[in-house]
Structures are given as C-alpha cells and as structure tokens.
Amino acid sequence: MTELFANFNSMDRIIKISNNIMALSHEVAADLSAIINNAVRRSHHLNIALSGGNTPRTFYSVLGTHYALSTEWKAVDFFWSDERCVPPGDRESNYRVAREHFFERIKIQAGKIHRIRGEDDPQTEAIRYSELIKKKVPFRFGFPVFDIVFLGLGTDGHIASIFPGDEKVLSSVRTCEVAVHPETGQKRITLTLPVINNAERIIFLVSGKDKAEIVAEILNNPDAKHYPAGMVNPHFGKIYWYMDLDAASLLSQYA
C-alpha cells in the first residue's frame, strides 16, 4: 500500500492508495476499527454516516467478516449520507447493502441503525430524518457534527446525492434535501454540503479505472469547484481519500 500526504487549498487531505478494491477495503476497515476502539477507550460515542455504491459493498463485507468481534460496535450510531427513494428491500437500497453485507454479521442493537425511509414521501422523510439527526447528533454552528461521513465519487463528480447543476441542493443550508438523479429522474434524500463539511472526518472510497479522470480533476485542480466533490472543504476536520491504483492512475504524483 502506497500512502501520500498532501495539502491542497489550505486544508488537510490524506490520500491512501491500495493495490485493488479488496486491499483498499481492508485498509479502511482496519482504520475504522481502530478509530472506534480508540474512541471507546476515551469514553467517546461516534456518529457515522455511511454511503452506498459498489466500493462500500466490498468494504462492508470486509467489516462484517473480519471485524465483527474485534470492534466495539456498541459505541456507534449509524446514519446514511444519502438514500434512494426505494423500499428497504429493494436491490438499489443503500440500507439493504449495508444490512446484508455488514449489520447482519455483527452484534449491534437495532436502535443504533438509523436508516432513511426511502419508501416514504421524500419531502416528509427529509424533514423527519433531519429531526432525527438533530436529536441524535451534536451540533456546531447550526449544523450536525458527524464523527465520520463516508462518501463515494460519481464519474460526474457527484457526492452522496448532490449532483452537478442541482442549484437547489448545492445551495441548501438544510440538514437534508430531496435530490433528483439527472439521468433517471429517481428521487433521493441526501445530506447537504454544510453538514458534510461540518464532519470531523470525511472519508472518500473510490475504486475503478472509470473514476481515474474525475479523481485527477478534483485532486490535481484546486479550482474544481464546479463539481460537488470539489466543494468538499471541511471547516474543522480532515478529508481522507482511500483509492485503488486504477482510480489513482492519473494523479500527477504518478504521472
């Protein structure tokens, strides 16, 4: 595993590059387990927002297989950075992926898992989920402070369900918003940029050759603010980019 440390735009970005998606998943899982267990030793509780996508699926499987017994899961409340407006049993549900590959393999109370109800009316659910977060997660300067927010990266530069050109969501100061996928028209519920940028740690999980171009655009270009991923700029925390070699193949450090 190759590890790079770099500063861009006066913010700390820690970039970790692994050989492949499996090695990446093991790296993130080991780091997450250590963070949770260290928090327990400090009597600290963690609030973590999970993401969807193919890379997290492998990551969840590694967590559930290799860290089920060695991690103090009781110290964590789990949320989601976004969810498709589908029932929880739908194959597109981010919750279903996490449940099948992760939650069913570990010991955790059901009350620690706070899913977005994708089957409910989107606008009503965005309000309900925002209120739930307000009750469960500490606030700082008017926005919730997640200890960790996991994010994927779309080939178009979107994060969570914040898509390029969606001015309503991009400019929102709410906790959650209803977004619409620009190609499929599918409605989704997402955390907003102020919430993401208020997190203590933002962790990108990115794999695959198809992500190489957008990764290079975001990380090599400090002015890539037209992409939602380029707008991720934590106010107090750090960004961690975990990538495989394919996703990192066009970074200038490897040119």
> How distant is the alpha carbon of residue 64 from its chain centre?
18
Number of domains in the chain: 1
**pLDDT tens profile 93-107:** 999 999 999 999 999
pLDDT for the residue numbered 252:
77
Residue 23's alpha-carbon distances to 1, 19, 62, 188, 218, in angstroms, are 8, 6, 10, 30, 23
Q: Is the pLDDT of residue 254 over 90?
A: no
The reply to whether 144 falls in a domain is: yes
Burial code of 119-156, b = ≥16 C-beta within 10 A, e = fewer?
Answer: eeebeebbebbbeebeeebeeeeebbbbbbbbbbbbee
The reply to whether 249 falls in a domain is: no
d(CA 58, CA 79): 18
Q: Which two tokens stand for residue 147?
A: 């200890």
Question: SS3 string of 103-162?
Answer: HHHCCCCHHHECCCCCCCCHHHHHHHHHHHHHHHCCEECCEECCCEEEECCCCCCCECCE
pLDDT for the residue numbered 7:
35
d(CA 86, CA 115): 12
Return the CATH number at 75: 3.40.50.1360
Find the mean pLDDT for residues 8-13.
52
The reply to whether 3 falls in a domain is: no
Sheet architecture: strand order including 187-191: 82-84, 187-191, 176-180
pTM exceeding the 0.85 threshold for the entire prediction:
yes
Q: Is the pLDDT of residue 9 over 50?
A: no
pLDDT for the residue numbered 223:
78
Using pLDDT thresholds of 50, 70 and 90, give the confidence band for residue 153: very high
Are 128 and 181 contacting, i.e. CB atoms less than 8 angstroms apart?
no
Q: Is the pLDDT of residue 64 over 50?
A: yes
**pLDDT tens profile 102-126:** 999 999 999 999 999 999 999 999 9
Are 164 and 158 contacting, i.e. CB atoms less than 8 angstroms apart?
yes
User: At 91, is the secondary structure helix, strand, or coil?
Assistant: coil
The reply to whether 138 falls in a domain is: yes
The reply to whether 248 falls in a domain is: no
The reply to whether 2 falls in a domain is: no
Q: Is the pLDDT of residue 5 over 70?
A: no
DSSP state at residue 252: G
d(CA 181, CA 165): 11
d(CA 174, CA 172): 6
The reply to whether 170 falls in a domain is: yes
Q: Is the pLDDT of residue 6 over 80?
A: no
Q: Which two tokens stand for residue 16?
A: 């970790």
The reply to whether 221 falls in a domain is: no
What domain range includes position 130? 12-151+165-189+198-203+230-243
Task: Identify the residue with better confidence: 78 or 11.
Answer: 78
Using pLDDT thresholds of 50, 70 and 90, give the confidence band for residue 21: very high
Are 164 and 226 contacting, i.e. CB atoms less than 8 angstroms apart?
yes
